[in-house]
Structure formats: C-alpha cells, structure tokens
Amino acid sequence: MGTRRIFFNRLAIDAQIGILDHERGATQPLHVDAEIDLEGVDMPAHDGIQEVLDYRRLRECIIDECTRTHVNLIETLCDRLAARLLAQFPEIRDVRLRVAKPQAFADCAAVGIEVTASRGQGI
C-alpha cells in the first residue's frame, strides 16, 4: 500500500465571487489547482475504474462547490472546498488547493489563495 496523488492544473471555472459592485451578479474566471493525496491505495488488480477514486467525481465536486452560490471571499471558497472534499471522499488524506482570480489585476497573471487540509486536522 502507498500514497497516490490526483492533481488538477488550472481547472477553469466561471464563478460568482467577489466583494466589489461589478463582481456581484456576474461570473468571472477562476483557476483551481488541486493536489489530492489518497492513502492506503493498492495497485489496481484488474485495470478498472471501480478500483480507484474516479477523478471525474473530484472534478464535478470542485466545479459544483465553486459555482453553487455567490461567495464574497476567495478564502471562504477555498476553505469550503477543502472541507467538502474531505467530507465527501473518505479516501482523501490531504488536500492542497490554489484558487486564483486571473482577471483581478491588469499587472499580474493572477492573485489567489492556497490552503492545505488533512483528515482529522481541518483547515
């Protein structure tokens, strides 16, 4: 048994996020990077999807949490997303998330927040 990491690089999501007037009632792009560590995983014996955590389910969870409602702070969104992943998928040991707003400032590629959370230790 070992550790397996599932990762997403720059998952692009249109979300309702922000405290400024122009951000309310509109969507803006977010980029989500996620590293999800699974513990106690075995090599798939039969090369079947039922033997692993299907990363499509993780992607759906991330998109759903980021798009289900308006959130004022990117910090709040990161914390909610980390908590939901740990609650919904018991095979996850650790999660590291980076959520970035690429259009926040004209003079940088993106600004964002990174959080890490572990089972039993919270965010």
Contact 70, 21 (CB under 8 A): no
Cβ burial of 105 (10 Å; 0-12, 13-18, 19+) is: exposed
pLDDT at 2: 72
DSSP helix/strand/coil, 78: helix
With CA atoms as reference, report the closest residue to 73 among 115, 117, 27, 19: 19
Distance from C-alpha of 38 to C-alpha of 53, rounded to nearest angstrom = 9
pLDDT at 62: 98
How would you write the pLDDT of the chain (123 residues) with one tens digit per residue? 678 999 999 999 999 999 998 899 899 999 999 999 998 777 777 888 877 889 999 999 999 999 999 999 999 999 999 999 999 999 999 999 999 999 999 999 999 999 999 987 755
pLDDT at 95: 98
